[in-house]
């Protein structure tokens, strides 16, 4: 089924995550980030250890060139498959803030809806963020470009290879969600936050 819907699911945990003492302590939270699109939907899963985030998985759900309703079904099924595979308990997703035209905005909004319904169906806590909020949390400035965001994602998650751009955006959303949750909880990523709002290791 995974191959049929075009998912590229990576190993559940990296070596750093497996070796972490927080795993045994049961204090880690799996967070899913979604960068929605009617053609390509990026996903990223990170583990919030309470002292920072570690990489779990990322990839893209590619819908092909079928009818819109078929592509939306692929997004819905793909997001549910990611959730079932990795078991996140909370999800962050990017808000629609701009598009090339009204038709593109409508399709993007529908893809977001499909992803949100998939998360709700799996009973995930869901939060929405603007692109500016994500950039501010990860790169320290709302004016960061995609390459700058990707470099910070790689630095924060200790990645040695560049992720696909949509997957990178999804990982950034997951990191933003972790950062935001930490500010609302008594404990969280307090040691991973720095001046100016940007995450640090």
Q: Answer yes or no: is pLDDT of 21 > 50.
A: no
Find the largest Cα–Cα distance for the chain.
49
Over range 25-50, report the average pLDDT.
Answer: 89
DSSP 145-156: -HHHHHHHHHHH
What share of the chain has pLDDT > 70, as a percent? 75
Q: What is the DSSP string of 33-98?
A: EEE--SSEEEEEEEEE-SS-EEEEEEEEEE-TTS-HHHHHHHHHHHHHHHHHHH--SEEEEEPP--
Q: Is residue 35 part of an annotated ligand binding site?
A: yes
DSSP 8-state symbol, 37:
-
Q: Work out the burial of residue 10: count CB atoms within 10 Å of its CB; fewer than 13 is exposed, 13-18 middle, 19 or more buried.
A: middle
Instruction: Tell me the per-residue pLDDT of 90-146, one tens digit each, with 9 for 90 and over.
Output: 999 998 766 667 888 889 999 999 999 999 999 999 999 999 999 999 999 899 999
Is 147 marked as a binding-site residue? no
Over 90: is that where the pLDDT of 51 sits?
Answer: no
Domains of the chain as residue ranges with CATH: 15-197 (3.30.420.10)
Catalytically annotated residues? 35, 94, 166
Q: Binning pLDDT at 50, 70 and 90, where does residue 47 land?
A: very high
């Amino acid at each position: 089924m995974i191959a049929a819907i075009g998912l590229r699911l990576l190993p559940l945990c990296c070596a750093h995550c497996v070796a972490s003492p927080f795993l045994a302590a049961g204090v880690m939270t799996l967070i899913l980030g979604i960068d929605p699109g009617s053609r390509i939907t990026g996903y990223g899963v990170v583990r919030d250890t309470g002292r920072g985030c570690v990489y779990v998985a990322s990839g893209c759900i590619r819908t092909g060139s079928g009818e819109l309703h078929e592509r939306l079904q692929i997004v819905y099924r793909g997001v549910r498959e990611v959730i079932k595979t990795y078991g996140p308990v909370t999800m962050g997703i990017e808000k629609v803030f701009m598009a090339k035209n009204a038709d593109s905005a409508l399709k993007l909004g529908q893809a977001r809806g499909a992803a949100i319904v998939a998360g709700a169906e799996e009973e995930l806590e869901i939060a929405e963020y603007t692109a500016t909020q994500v950039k501010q949390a990860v790169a320290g400035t709302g004016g960061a470009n995609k390459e700058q965001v990707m470099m910070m994602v790689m630095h924060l998650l200790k990645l040695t290879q560049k992720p696909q751009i949509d997957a990178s955006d999804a990982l950034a959303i997951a990191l933003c969600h972790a950062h935001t949750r930490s500010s609302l909880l008594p404990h969280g990523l307090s040691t991973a936050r720095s001046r100016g709002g940007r995450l640090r290791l």
